[in-house]
Amino acid sequence: MKINIMSFFLGLLVISGCHENKKKKQETTSWKFSKEIPLENVSPIGIVSQNNFLWLSDVDNNRVVKVDLDGNILEAFNGLQRPMHMAIKEGKIYVPEYTSDSLKIIENGNVSTLELKENTDGIGGVSVFGNTVAIADFYNHQIILQQEDKVIILGTEVHDDGELYYPTDVEMSDDLIYVADAYNNRVQVFDFEGNYVRMIGWNESIKVATGLKVTDSQVIVADFEGNRVLIYDLNGKLLQIVSGKFNQPTDIEIVNGTMYVVNYKGKAISILEKR
């Protein structure tokens, strides 16, 4: 059977053109501000989602609240000591307490404490991946990776690659660890052995990199003092900056393609949609 060579190559060009158009569409897809949901007497720092609900760490009121997607409070856990950036895994809400240097777990209406193997000084955030718990140790300028049988320390104080200066949040995704290196004005990426991999955000003059959300294709950063949210691909290429709609944003969550950004000073949740 003979093949028409010209038709064959024309077919390849059509396929290639469709691929390029699809790629271009993906690259130009951007996040757009949709609306703002005011919060009643909540000063949020951290946010995680569970089913069709959101959990917010209400730092000024020393509590964690469960709200619906319209911001209505459904449940509250009081008596916490400055809860910060949280994590969720298998129905457990991990809540770092900045003041007490302890890590609480909320599960089925009960609150317990996870034993930590290292002394910390101001826990700013937590992430859970498999059997590894990562803790942003704010005043010690380090990330603590705690596993069942070992502890790995990431970072030292100062400003070079691989060094941290007041980290506030941490996220583990696949085989990498992403750190909101707050007062180094950037995000740093490490592997699970503690080796420095890359830096994200330096060129955008981030003022305070406070909170992180890592998806399967993007790294999203809350710039607290810059009142911006910056979106990068996983290699650190800047895709978009969203500004003008935030009032000290601290953390990000994504639920069913919708982005929820909590604003500490604004006491509100900003809603963004993909367009």
- Give 10-residue mean pLDDT values along the chain (275 residues): 38 42 53 96 97 96 97 97 97 97 96 96 97 97 93 93 97 96 98 95 97 97 98 97 97 96 98 94
Q: Nearest 5 degrees, angle CA 30-CA 31-CA 32?
A: 115
Encoded amino acid at 242, one letter:
V
Q: How many CB atoms lie within 10 A of CB 35?
A: 11
Alpha carbon separation from 137 to 23, 59, 167, 178, 214 (Å, rounded) = 40, 17, 7, 14, 20
Identify the residue whose tokens are 């009121």: 61
Burial label, 23 (beta-carbon count in 10 A; 0-12, 13-18, 19+): exposed
Residue 149: the pLDDT is 83
| Res 275: pLDDT | 87
How high is the pLDDT of residue 13? Answer: 37
- The whole-angstrom separation of Cα 145 and Cα 164 is 15
pLDDT at 56: 98
pLDDT of residue 1: 42
Query: Nearest Cα to 136, choosing from 101, 105, 104?
Result: 101
Q: Give, in words, the CATH class of 34-274.
A: mainly beta
Query: What is the domain partition of the chain in residue ranges?
Result: 34-274
Q: Closest Cα to residue 219, out of 274, 209, 194, 196?
A: 209
Distance (Å, rounded) from C-alpha 156 to C-alpha 141? Answer: 6
Distance (Å, whole) CA 168 – CA 125 = 6
Distance from C-alpha of 138 to C-alpha of 116, rounded to nearest angstrom: 15
Helix, strand or coil, per DSSP, at residue 159: coil
Buried b (16+ CB within 10 A) or exposed e, 136-164: bbbebbbbbbbeeeeebebbeeeeeeebb
The pLDDT score that the predictor gives to residue 28 is 55
Q: Using an 8 Å Cβ cutoff, are 215 and 31 in contact?
A: no
Q: How far is CA 226 from CA 8, 125, 223, in A?
A: 53, 20, 5
Supply the pLDDT for residue 29: 73
Vertex 211 angle, CA 129 and 106, to 5°? 50
